[in-house]
Amino acid sequence: MARHERMPNGASAMDDELNELSPRRRRLLFRARHRGTKETDLLIGGFVSDRIESFSEQELDEVEELLELPDVDLTDWLSGRRPVPAELQSPMMLRLMEASALPGAGIPEEMRKN
């Protein structure tokens, strides 16, 4: 299959998206989508995927800091099971929490009922 052709599972669309990003942004996007638990893969991966192209260098630094936090804690904080410690309430964490609280957060667009 030629590189420009679309596979039925959409893999080349993702390849195209990744190829347009800088190496740092590709690395962060991969880390955000492959956290280790499905919940954080979807919540954090979806959040980062939707915004990765527009993040400033400072915001990329903040995303990197978030990605260093343990999945179990992130899942609890983003689901509202536990409050985020005050020292971790960065602007990026607050944006992520806000996005995670929206209806359908983390559900890929193609899986949402219209």
pLDDT tens track for 55-95:
999 999 999 999 999 999 999 999 999 999 999 999 999 99
Instruction: Name the packing angle between helices 57-67 and 38-51 (round to 10°).
Output: 180
What is the SS3 assignment for 68?
coil
Cα gap 63→81, rounded to integer Å: 22
From residue 104, give the alpha-carbon distance in Å to each of 43, 83, 112.
10, 21, 8
Q: Where are the domains of the chain?
A: 12-103
| Domain 12-103 class, CATH top level | mainly alpha
pLDDT tens track for 8-60:
555 545 555 556 899 999 999 999 999 988 888 999 999 999 999 999 999 99
Q: Using pLDDT thresholds of 50, 70 and 90, give the confidence band for residue 98.
A: very high
Cα gap 18→68, rounded to integer Å: 22
